[in-house]
Structure 1
């Protein structure tokens, strides 16, 4: 028998007398104890989101609200703010009353949906009901006040429910037929009527509750697949963590084809500004990329961190058809095609790409004809050399460009070391640009060095355009700066900036014609980033600029949540007192002998297992 303590009974009793609408409680950001307490307090709690009038949770942004509704497969269209503020029509009021009544009925939602039973009993409803995603404070403050407070100030999002299948209008049935429907529904549910609350809420809540009378199947599964599931290989220990910086993730994982399909959906989410969706797909892709076996069933993928039922269902679709419908639809979407074209311009982020589209531009010619003067210099260069920047750079050329940079550095001041970072160091055969980190054991050598090397390379005609030149690190004397917490600092300032130059590169040497006459330089223009790091933090610079995007994101999360530190490419500092933390010097305080040793010491200092660059391919 489930034990409810005295405090829970008192809280529940105090809320029972209040006339709350039907509520679905989100488990997001709730601890197990807090979740259980809230379930005990909500008198109109439902475990079927399709029954709810209010979706309650620790949600403060509309994007998160939409993500939660999508995760629970509730399709809505946003209610216009003007419509929300207008008084409800008699038809809408009647629809709301009917919805509430049906939600508290004994009809099992696994047998017949609310909408279908409602149509059978009373015919078509003139207006679809809405659902509100509401901040948790509305409920807790209502209980504290002893009355149901006005909800409008707490609404994060309100949407009108959209039918997922065509609605078939059925004429009202005689009373005896209605009774037959109810009996069959109860029989299908095992002869039990639906209780508005479960008898037990023990255990961690997921997509569904263990107390639900009928557990929905994850995906269709054959007998042979079930037998496979009983013999699945154990999940490696490194995949029991939520941090991709603790996993070996190689460039060509066993499930690469499925990852490529997911990456297409992630790109579409990026272009449309769905930041939460991008983060979710990034986490799932990183987990799948670290899994060392080829997937056999959907249940196998559901076990992995960041995946769950959604990704498992997508894998089942991929297994059945060899592709994902959503990815194909995204590729066929003409708007997304234009956004992708703009997004691939150097210097254009996804928000700028959408701005270009909203101005009515549909290709590069439109940008040149109607908006050239409004572009920044970086964007103008990005448009001018768009086709050349799309060409991949072979490893041999990456090495040639990098060796030229190092040679110029040592001509100016001997003793410079260099590490080629980015995708090249992770093992890519071709790169989109060239990234190098330069450093020198003598700290005076790196101060204001970025300006000197750019001038040298421009003089020899390797650099055709310098698009960005940052000297913030030198301007503060290259001294580590304390972290200022969440206080805002002016753009371009702060600890997380290294001296760097973003340049356009073109090899000035090319073959001449048989007659010896020169012609226009045929060599393609390349994007090159030159980063200068002080020796004391060179390991952090190499680590940050080498690793995949999700690896970097999770490294920052790991440092924050597990070590109370703040990491970026220019060093590490304590979140307790803001001071710089030196992980790169030896026990005796002697600096690392080289940049790669410094990088290894950062891993060790953070209590992370060393992952070579080729195992940081998280995407």
Structure 2
């Protein structure tokens, strides 16, 4: 039998490398990278192997000694629990001081109490624990966000997942961010998050990283990713979806100038989006939204007297800025709204207000969209997606230069939606949001219906949660058109949002508190 000190270990993904002599087979080390850093961990691992220690690159049940730096015992234990599900690791949890002394001595030193990791001292009376309902439609979420740093980090990871066509991961991050937005105070300790819904292991790791280090390493790495930066720019073009942007990136088109120089054939929407890129990626103020509202409402009423128009989306929830302006139009007399959209669009075009427009017809049929089919993720209303030319107001007597005259207007995204009065309450609820939009939204309005469905899947978190609640908790099917009760086998009518909440067995939440 070969003496133990001369025995060599077979090379593998984990454990010591081939050629390393294992002098202490009863000791298997694992160095925790958290707070230690990858380069320092690599150096210390190599050092310990040269001293005859066996080191595992990945944690497993064979590990006997876990070495950590600047972590408490509870923090390391939480990490270990995430690695070995349902089992309690029996390894010693040791401070880096034990490792340093062992390296100096050239053998494993005796484990003293000062070597063992200490529990984190957090007085329970100083920790404010939170409790919130599972569904966003049960929570009141105002615009006052006490955890912006955390929610911004999660939202960026959600956006990256959505840009990578990973729907499930994106929704998970969005739901987690929505929970944090609803909290009454800032999160300062991980213990405050115990028992909160929608916070998975990945989310908790990101939150912990931000709380302890001021930023998430994963988020910072994502921000620097060439693909992420290119997708942000290219999907910021009106009419460009993720698949188109991804194809351009594979062709090494990474920014607007490269796109202009590439000779790519753009459709009408994409060309308009490229022409007005800067304007469309600037926030729209509430004052600008009100100015557009006055113009559109004047046209709507002139075309159909008695018609009603509502400013919806984020502005209805109380936001002072947005990325587009949405209007919902109806008429008190059912059927009078039919044929309204073409007339409104024609009048706006004749007055020079539309730089681009695409109109879709109403394709919703209650008899087919109800009990026979599951609710769609998108509505089927008559809509007009447009780029609006908003003139800048000039003070009395103010003279503009030729350059100033040329810049005397800005382009704004404006969406018009026409709903029958019988469906108006459902449309108002659905289009109020909250919307989970990209900072530079990828718009697929000129693309196929399938692409548009995929895009809208991400758009309205509050509405998505309402539909999830309806299906899972009430055996109902909710859309922006109607509410169908599967148990009763009939539609439940509503003339207001309050009635819809009542049908669903939910407390009414006003628009200003739907900012999930």
- TM-score of the alignment, normalized to the shorter chain, above 0.5: yes
Task: Tell me which residue corresponds to 1:571.
Answer: 482
Task: Tell me which residue corresponds to 1:459.
Answer: 350
2:123 is matched with which residue: 227, 237, 241? Answer: 227
Deviations 1:336-364 (A, max 9, x none): 21111011111222222211111221221
Change in Cα spacing, 1:480 to 1:425, as seen in structure 2 (3 Å) is: farther
Matched, 1:301 2:210: no
Deviations 1:25-78 (A, max 9, x none): xxxxxxxxxxxxxxxxxxxxxxxxxxxxxxxxxxxxxxxxxxxxxxxxxxxxxx
How far off its partner does 1:536 sit?
0.8
Task: Tell me which residue corresponds to 1:482.
Answer: 370
Verify the 8 A CA contact 1:265 1:327 in the aligned structure 2: yes
Deviations 1:431-472 (A, max 9, x none): 111001111111121112111111122222222321x21113
Residues in 2 aligned to 1:498 and 1:350: alpha-carbon distance in whole angstroms: 24
How far off its partner does 1:403 sit?
2.6
How far off its partner does 1:406 sit?
1.9
Verify the 8 A CA contact 2:269 2:356 in the aligned structure 1: no
Verify the 8 A CA contact 1:483 1:495 in the aligned structure 2: no
Verify the 8 A CA contact 2:128 2:192 in the aligned structure 1: no
How far off its partner does 1:539 sit?
0.9
Task: Tell me which residue corresponds to 1:413.
Answer: 304
How far off its partner does 1:387 sit?
0.7
How far off its partner does 1:260 sit?
1.4
Counterparts of 1:272-283 in structure 2 under 5 Å?
A: 272-283=164-175
Task: Tell me which residue corresponds to 1:58.
Answer: none
Over aligned residues, Cα RMSD in angstroms? 4.0
How far off its partner does 1:317 sit?
2.3
Counterparts of 1:1-400 in structure 2 under 5 Å?
A: 115-116=15-16, 166=42, 168=46, 170=49, 209=85, 211-214=87-90, 225-228=121-124, 232-236=127-131, 239-241=132-134, 243-373=135-265, 375-400=266-291
Deviations 1:349-395 (A, max 9, x none): 2222211111221221222332442x222111111110110121110
Verify the 8 A CA contact 2:175 2:198 in the aligned structure 1: yes
Task: Tell me which residue corresponds to 1:38.
Answer: none
Task: Tell me which residue corresponds to 2:415.
Answer: 529
Change in Cα spacing, 1:480 to 1:571, as seen in structure 2 (3 Å) is: farther
Change in Cα spacing, 1:172 to 1:246, as seen in structure 2 (3 Å) is: same
How far off its partner does 1:416 sit?
1.7
Task: Tell me which residue corresponds to 1:583.
Answer: 493
Residues in 1 aligned to 2:275 and 2:64: alpha-carbon distance in whole angstroms: 70
Change in Cα spacing, 1:286 to 1:508, as seen in structure 2 (3 Å) is: closer
- 1:286 partner SS: helix
Verify the 8 A CA contact 1:361 1:367 in the aligned structure 2: yes
Residues in 2 aligned to 1:473 and 1:406: alpha-carbon distance in whole angstroms: 24
Structure 2, gaps ≥5 residues long: 1-8, 24-37, 56-61, 67-80, 94-115, 435-459
TM-score by length of 2: 0.71
- 2:507 partner SS: coil
Residues in 2 aligned to 1:571 and 1:119: alpha-carbon distance in whole angstroms: 70
Verify the 8 A CA contact 1:540 1:569 in the aligned structure 2: yes
- 2:165 partner SS: coil
Deviates more, 1:566-575 or 1:540-549: 566-575
How far off its partner does 1:211 sit?
4.8
Task: Tell me which residue corresponds to 2:31.
Answer: none
Verify the 8 A CA contact 1:119 1:170 in the aligned structure 2: no
1:507 is matched with which residue: 368, 390, 413? Answer: 390
- 1:436 partner SS: strand
Deviations 1:257-301 (A, max 9, x none): 221122222222233333332122112101111121221211222
Task: Tell me which residue corresponds to 1:608.
Answer: 506
Change in Cα spacing, 1:398 to 1:510, as seen in structure 2 (3 Å) is: closer
Task: Tell me which residue corresponds to 1:147.
Answer: none
How far off its partner does 1:413 sit?
1.8
Matched, 1:538 2:424: yes
Structure 1, gaps ≥5 residues long: 1-93, 100-112, 124-161, 179-184, 190-204, 488-492, 585-591, 593-597
Residues in 2 aligned to 1:171 and 1:207: alpha-carbon distance in whole angstroms: 27
How far off its partner does 1:428 sit?
1.5
Verify the 8 A CA contact 1:225 1:297 in the aligned structure 2: no
Verify the 8 A CA contact 1:480 1:580 in the aligned structure 2: no
- RCO higher in structure (CA 8 A, sep ≥6): 2
Verify the 8 A CA contact 1:480 1:495 in the aligned structure 2: no
- 1:461 partner SS: coil
Verify the 8 A CA contact 1:508 1:521 in the aligned structure 2: no
- 1:444 partner SS: coil
Change in Cα spacing, 1:293 to 1:538, as seen in structure 2 (3 Å) is: same
Residues in 2 aligned to 1:562 and 1:390: alpha-carbon distance in whole angstroms: 39
Change in Cα spacing, 1:438 to 1:525, as seen in structure 2 (3 Å) is: same
Deviations 1:153-211 (A, max 9, x none): xxxxxxxxx9996474947979xx99xxxxxx89879xxxxxxxxxxxxxxx9875555
Residues in 1 aligned to 2:378 and 2:175: alpha-carbon distance in whole angstroms: 27
Task: Tell me which residue corresponds to 2:326.
Answer: 435
Residues in 2 aligned to 1:322 and 1:292: alpha-carbon distance in whole angstroms: 21
- 1:556 partner SS: helix
Task: Tell me which residue corresponds to 2:361.
Answer: 471
- 1:557 partner SS: helix
TM-score by length of 1: 0.60
